[in-house]
Chains A and B, each alone.
Chain A
Amino acid sequence: MASLQATSTRRTKERQARGKRWAKLKNQRELWIITVVMLIWVAIFAYYPMFGVIIAFKKYYPGQSFLASPWVGFKYFQQFFASNDFLKIMRNTLAISGLNLLFGFPAPIILALLINEVTRKPWKRFVQTVSYIPHFLSWVVVASLAYTFLGNEGLLNQVLINMHVIGQPINYLGEGKYFWGIITVADIWKEIGWGSIIYLSAISGIDDELYQAGAVDGLGRFGMVWHITLPGIMNTIVLLWILGIGDILNAGFEQQLLLGNELTRDFYEVIDTYAYRYGLQLGNYSYGTAVDLMKGIISVSLVFFTNWFTRKKLDLAIL
């Protein structure tokens, strides 16, 4: 009898819970209708193809079936780690993405803070718009601009020679020691404006009363930025930092192929260009997939680790 009563109570509670969930769903139906389309898209184009990573563990060649190809285990991962170029590729990848994180990550934050300090609205809009434009240029155009600016007869060499700073032109694009700097600067120039949008949007969400209170407390402009603006957008910074750390092995692809050349190969070859040339171009899809899968696993691990770290230290996390 008691058990019957308990079962009945449990069932009533379940029915009530289902009812609440259904009511919630009904209430949010427009949002769900919008989301379902995207969820289906993500399932088809992002999750379903992930089945293809199986070829990283198989000897697959185009034309064969994924399932019928023979298993080779970790052969291609070992092949990559054992390759003569492995250390050089990892060095280049970490160096380029490290520089991007070190300089490229704070750059849009600084730009957003500076734009926020501009008081004249038309000028502010103009600066914002101009800063976005490089984002829309393709890397082919950027490479061409780089050649015009940095080539032996480029603008920079001409200016330096005319100012008697140097006697002979410097082959910036042909010397490996400049490559990392050039690609970092090009990347920052291209993305700084676009990257600042999210920070500007976060800054606009800070309560004006905080600034008023700060003024009353005697804070100057720099003080307002340091004590109010930055803490106000800290969540956004940490969120993007966590995602940025996950991209540490994504040092780029197009920009390396376009800005790099035979003289700078030792400095431009990164994981993605290596996977392209030795995987895709040679039709060795298994090898290319193994290299990229390794990259993906490390990236995801870094995201989780950074998320855990920021949760522990800053009480901020995205997961």
Chain B
Amino acid sequence: MKMKKVIALAVISAMIFTAFCGCGQGSGSGASSVTGDGGATAANAGKTNEYGWKLPSKTMVINYYGGQESPDDCKKYTTAMKDYLLKNFNVSLNKTVYDVDMNEKLNLMLSSGDYPECIVGMDWNTAQKWKDQGKALDLTSLVDKYGPNIKAKMGDYYKRYLDESGKLYWLAYLWGVGNCVDYAPQIRWDWYQEIGSPDISTPEKYYNALKAITAKHPTNSQGKKTYALGLWKVTTINNSFTNTFGGMWGLKHGWKVNADNSVTHWLDTNEGIEMAKYVNQFYRDGLFDPDSFTMTLDEWGAKASAERYTGFVGSWWVTGTYGNEVWKKKLGSSFNDNMRFVHVDVTAPGVKQSTFGPVNGFGSAVILTDKCKNPEDYIKWFNFENTDLGANLVGWGIPNDTGSVWTLNKDGKWAVKDSVKKTLTENEATFNYDAEQKEGGECEMAMTPGCAPRDGGYDIWINQSFKDKWKVRKDTTLKNDLFDFTSFLSISIPSDDPLADINQQVGDIANNAWAKAITARTSDECAQIITDARAAAQKAGIGKLEQFYSDNYKKNVTKYGK
């Protein structure tokens, strides 16, 4: 009997204990949120530091949700900056992240009513939803009073963020047009030179060159087959591969812009069929990795690192990370600097200009929510971010430290370290990005800076401020591909609009058709798949989607001037 009571008590205690263990404050999905105590001493209060920042008498606390990131990484990369800001600015800057999709998390936050004071990096659909629900503060008078640098820096861009009544409910993270094209066709440069560097300015010539290289290098050093092209599984309706291939045919972000500024989805265009048939040719000739639609990015990366691809159509950082950076580490002194993927400009016949570089100058949204107790503090901080020194700090990290990329003296004079300039311009693969990020660089805690180049050619990204010969080559080759497509990319579909469902359905149909068309056995079958998908998309309502985007694009072109 006594034993029975003891066991019962033990079981009850265990259950109650575990039940309470499960209760917590948002830590289940791995949040990282570090709050700070008061930093600078009372003696420093009111003084102006070398950045021109006047230290507040009371610690300024800024809490924000920064999107999807590993909380462990966030902690690693924000600790030094947090301490620095507390000590030198009397600002406690606290970034919270969760390792879950940002939009899903924001929806849950909105429904639970548990959300932070500031959110950075929202897409514009979601920002609109928060504004419509009255959760986003009106910032107009606050920016007028506390944010002169914001308005000065943004210039004409500022007006783009005002709503129909002239009010401002959001600012932007990484607004403006940068100076580099990120996505384009690429070719393995040393192998390309081996075959005599032929002209690869058209899709057919690009195909021929890749075919010749693959014939010359049919297997890698382990005897595994090489391919001209390989992709990985896409899980979003926005397919960067169709967008980039479409650039060869003048499609902009997967859309055709017609003479009257109406827009047509690639699935509804002849260019879309040409694009699919082109890639299908790679597949039928055994030059396209058949695992392209089943493998993840990591699996693709393993193959890329094993030198199994002679070309790629996509971003430069992926082929850098899995390509030349890996080979440099592996081969050491026998590494040949031409062993890398280089962006090339490929334009289909009859197309005036390839369009690999559409830019959304809108950036992503930053809002202050109705839970923000001291919105003027946030605006003051954003105002500081929009100075040169502020942009340096939040973009490049803290100065004068071991891993820092720049120096700042007490008089406010700053300079990028010579060693950093040399490394970035001569041997970027050896640049220690991890050290820079640990100092808060790579925009780890940036909230509202722009990404357009500043005076002197400086950029929010240190590796865009000093480019090695490969980046210079890329930006020179693709300079005409870069264009401001804000008028289109800033269009958002309200989430309670039936068009949101149509958008998802059309995206599903398009991605499904793309995959099937590329892996078709014949060119006619490929074209038929796209035609059938077009009919399915029309049934799903692609016409309404195109009408919506056309109307809004025309409106924005009038509003923004381009």
- A and B bind: yes
A101 to chain B, nearest CB (A): 27
Flag if A61 contacts B495 (CB, 8 Å): yes
Q: Given the complex, which residues of B lie within 8 Å of A151, measured CB to CB?
A: 291, 294-295
When C-beta atoms are compared, the residue in chain B nearest to A169 turns out to be: B290
A85 to B509, CA, bound (A): 11
Flag if A174 contacts B8 (CB, 8 Å): no
Most buried by A among B107, B126, B508, B516: B107
A173 interface residue per 8 A CB criterion: yes
Flag if A37 contacts B16 (CB, 8 Å): yes
B539 interface residue per 8 A CB criterion: yes
A5 interface residue per 8 A CB criterion: no
Flag if A153 contacts B501 (CB, 8 Å): no
- Stretch with Cβ within 8 A of B (4 or more), from A184-192, A222-230, A262-270: A262-270
When C-beta atoms are compared, the residue in chain A nearest to B541 turns out to be: A84
**Option from A63, A85, A174 in Cβ contact (under 8 Å) with B110:** A63
Flag if B293 contacts A174 (CB, 8 Å): yes
When C-beta atoms are compared, the residue in chain A nearest to B233 turns out to be: A261
Q: Given the complex, which residues of A lie within 8 Å of B516, measured CB to CB?
A: 262-263
A257 to B296, CA, bound (A): 12
Flag if A281 contacts B515 (CB, 8 Å): no
Contact mask for chain B residues 94-134; partner A; CB cutoff 8 A; 1 contact, 0 none: 00000001011011111101000000000000100110010
Q: Given the complex, which residues of A lie within 8 Å of B109, measured CB to CB?
A: 62
User: By DSSP majority rule, is chain B's interface helix, strand, loop, or mixed?
Assistant: helix
CB contact under 8 A between A37 and B512, given known A61-B495, A147-B299, A280-B107: no
When C-beta atoms are compared, the residue in chain A nearest to B134 turns out to be: A63
Flag if A41 contacts B133 (CB, 8 Å): no
B95 to chain A, nearest CB (A): 23
B354 interface residue per 8 A CB criterion: no
Q: Given the complex, which residues of A lie within 8 Å of B294, measured CB to CB?
A: 147, 151, 171, 173-174, 261, 263
Q: Interface size class for chain A? A: 35 or more
**Option from B12, B291, B299 in Cβ contact (under 8 Å) with A33:** B12
Q: Given the complex, which residues of A lie within 8 Å of B293, measured CB to CB?
A: 174, 261-263
A255 interface residue per 8 A CB criterion: no
Flag if B495 contacts A64 (CB, 8 Å): no
A178 to chain B, nearest CB (A): 11
A262 to B294, CA, bound (A): 8
Contact mask for chain A residues 265-302; partner B; CB cutoff 8 A; 1 contact, 0 none: 11000000000011011111100000000000000000
Q: Given the complex, which residues of A lie within 8 Å of B12, measured CB to CB?
A: 33-34, 37
A151 to B16, CA, bound (A): 47
When C-beta atoms are compared, the residue in chain A nearest to B13 turns out to be: A37
**Option from B5, B8, B108, B504 in Cβ contact (under 8 Å) with A278:** B504
From residue 523 to 562 of chain B, which have CB atoms closer than 8 A to chain A? Answer: 536, 539-540
A38 to B4, CA, bound (A): 19
**Option from B8, B126, B133, B540 in Cβ contact (under 8 Å) with A34:** B8
A30 to B291, CA, bound (A): 59
A262 to B236, CA, bound (A): 11
A169 to B104, CA, bound (A): 39
From residue 45 to 97 of chain A, which have CB atoms closer than 8 A to chain B? Answer: 59, 61-64, 84-85
From residue 504 to 519 of chain B, which have CB atoms closer than 8 A to chain A? Answer: 504-505, 508, 511-512, 514-516, 519
Flag if B508 contacts A34 (CB, 8 Å): no
A64 to B495, CA, bound (A): 14
**Option from A61, A62, A263, A280 in Cβ contact (under 8 Å) with B515:** A263
A151 to B300, CA, bound (A): 12
Flag if B15 contacts A38 (CB, 8 Å): yes
Flag if A34 contacts B108 (CB, 8 Å): no
From residue 223 to 239 of chain B, which have CB atoms closer than 8 A to chain A? Answer: 224, 233-235
Flag if A84 contacts B540 (CB, 8 Å): yes
CB contact under 8 A between A152 and B291, given known A263-B519, A278-B501: yes
When C-beta atoms are compared, the residue in chain A nearest to B224 turns out to be: A153
Flag if A63 contacts B501 (CB, 8 Å): no
Q: Given the complex, which residues of B lie within 8 Å of A31, measured CB to CB?
A: 8
Most buried by B among A64, A152, A261, A285: A261
B500 interface residue per 8 A CB criterion: yes
Contact mask for chain B residues 2-24; partner A; CB cutoff 8 A; 1 contact, 0 none: 00110110011001100100000
**Option from A41, A147, A171, A263 in Cβ contact (under 8 Å) with B19:** A41
**Option from B113, B290, B495 in Cβ contact (under 8 Å) with A174:** B290
CB contact under 8 A between A283 and B291, given known A37-B19, A278-B501: no
11 A-B contacts, Cβ less than 8 Å apart? A59-B496, A61-B133, A61-B496, A62-B106, A85-B505, A152-B290, A171-B290, A278-B504, A280-B104, A280-B107, A281-B101
- B residues in contact (CB < 8 Å) with A: 4-5, 7-8, 11-12, 15-16, 19, 101, 103-104, 106-111, 113, 126, 129-130, 133, 135, 224, 233-235, 290-291, 293-296, 299, 495-496, 500-501, 504-505, 508, 511-512, 514-516, 519, 536, 539-540
Q: A174-B293, A262-B515, A263-B512 are in contact. List 7 more A-B contacts (CB 8 A).
A: A34-B11, A59-B496, A61-B133, A63-B133, A153-B224, A173-B294, A284-B496
- A residues in contact (CB < 8 Å) with B: 30-31, 33-34, 37-38, 41, 59, 61-64, 84-85, 147, 151-153, 169, 171, 173-174, 257, 261-263, 265-266, 277-278, 280-285
